[in-house]
Structure 1
């Protein structure tokens, strides 16, 4: 989660409410923003591989808690670029939660309709534009920073990241049978689709979730993966790519293989 602070943390509160055992291991990963589910998948997969035990990744975002009125330092009727930026940002973002279980071995096919193996996770950070996206704590609460130039940065980096991830494991773009692209906005989806030469069908799950739910920050990619698996069958051996974009400015990509 990147939308608040509380101690005892959400991990303790939720594990108690859900009746989970007292020896449950918990780790809170905070303030990575919209891309957090992808490195979260990588972290959970590494835990499962080391300990041979299942793990749960939970993303909870409550962006509506931080919708801010016009800056109190401004005179009435004199909105600034920052005010418009806040309006645009909060019109995109929405509350959401999603969860996924990662298990140490494949379960019987009858147990789960579609299963994906986490093959690899890769990142690319352009620190020269780190101020393009942020979530700042101010005297008047959280203030969001979301530059309209973010799509231009993604345009420069997304193709290189994805092709490197695929080629590392002997795949090409033609081997990808499903895409879960974080919908930071319609313009971001258009830029990614153009750089990766994706069809309307390939980006449909991302557009559908953006239209129906909005940008739920870290929860969104997992929601899109669910929609993807509900609406199409990924043939065994084919791969799915999940993409997240967030502060840094950071791009994260996960390579998932269908069983």
Structure 2
């Protein structure tokens, strides 16, 4: 018995803007700041390697003083829509009936809702009454891969079952209008909103790339590096500037023992399916793997076209590879990083 990735789908919110269309709003937002600082901020947006981003709100709403409650209400309303759309699309691609799902994992860290998204999907999509549900809310950018790890372990223990991982994120709902810190500015420059859904199965007849193995790697004493502060104005980003360097220093321990535990080495990995956390992280990974003849062009392209959509982003990269229909026997390595600080890994084979 093995776990197969049967289908994958993505969904995007209604609003979108090219980066050059966002700049006038940024300039207006920065109007009262010192001119030299304004120029620096504009350069950050222009050099973020993000050409376009999607949003659950129009730019006018993003750059308007809204309360935490107002932003979170928009988050809840739009996350329900995106979750329903992306799950329905993935089910259609797999030719699965909604009530055939046995396990549903929903992933989001950019807003707060209780009941969680999965409860609404049971009603809106028509899932069966005894479906097992798991909301994942505090693993940030790593949670798309985390969700796949949880689904894989459920399916390993339950042959002949089906699972869905739905990641829906809206980082624009966390933008802090009165915060002119570099963390808030860099976050605004690199993040965008989006949703993705992966369907997995442990049925013998399932068709798709199989999961060879998975694992988590935790960085000791680095809980300060990434996360959110819960403030009166919403979720305020925590993003330490040392993240790329810290990742680079741990890369050998993250990659090589993990691959070796499944009888592989980096030379045998054909596809790097990496989460595009931001330009600096992408550059760090590229430097580490460029000498091995590996490329992360799909990771860079997803960042350029959508920005960092937190947990959903790596699934957009995975979709690009699945759509290319790699040859049988080719191996791919999924990797994402998130609060904790942690790295999440999944090894797949076509």
TM-score range, shorter chain: 0.7 to 0.9
Verify the 8 A CA contact 2:289 2:295 in the aligned structure 1: no
Q: Give the 3-state SS of the residue equivalent to 1:253 in structure 2.
A: strand
CA distance in 1, matches of 2:117, 2:206: 32
Cα deviation, residue 199, structure 1: 7.0
TM-score (normalised: structure 1): 0.88
> Aligned equivalents of 1:155 and 1:92: distance in 2?
20
Deviation for aligned residue 1:129: 2.5
Distance 1:108 1:46, change over 3 A: closer
Structure 1 pair 198–143 and aligned structure 2 pair: CA distance change class (3 A):
farther
Taking the aligned partners of 2:260 and 2:293, their CA distance within structure 1 comes to 24
Q: Aligned with 2:327: secondary structure?
A: coil
Q: Within 5 Å, give how 1:240-259 maps onto structure 2.
A: 240-258=332-350
> Who is 1:127 aligned against?
220
TM-score relative to the length of structure 2: 0.66
1:46 Cα deviation from its structure 2 partner: 1.2
Q: Which structure carries more relative contact order (alpha carbon 8 Å, separation 6+)?
A: 1
Task: Name the counterpart of 1:34.
Answer: 141
5+ unaligned residues in a row in structure 1: which ranges? 72-78, 110-114
Match of 1:95 in 2: 193
Q: Which runs of 5+ in 2 are unaligned?
A: 1-107
Query: Contact 1:32 / 1:247 at 8 angstroms: preserved in 2?
Result: yes
Q: 1:31, CA displacement in angstroms?
A: 1.1
Could you tell me how far 1:139 is from its partner in structure 2?
2.0
Write the distance in 1 (CA, Å) between the matches of 2:188 and 2:129.
38
Single out whichever of 15-24 and 95-104 deviates more from structure 2.
Answer: 15-24
Check the 8 A contact 2:272/2:294 in 1, yes or no. no
**Aligned counterpart in structure 2 of residue 67 of structure 1, from 164, 172, 175:** 175
Report the CA distance shift for 1:198/1:206 in structure 2 as closer, same or farther (over 3 A). farther
Contact 1:158 1:251 in 2 (8 A): no
Q: Which residue of 2 aligns with 1:116?
A: 209
| Aligned-pair CA distance for 1:255 | 0.9
CA contact (8 A) 2:183 2:238 kept: yes
Among 51, 58, 64, the residue aligned to 2:158: 51
* Residues in 2 aligned to 1:200 and 1:226: alpha-carbon distance in whole angstroms: 22
Counterpart in the other structure of 1:151 = 244
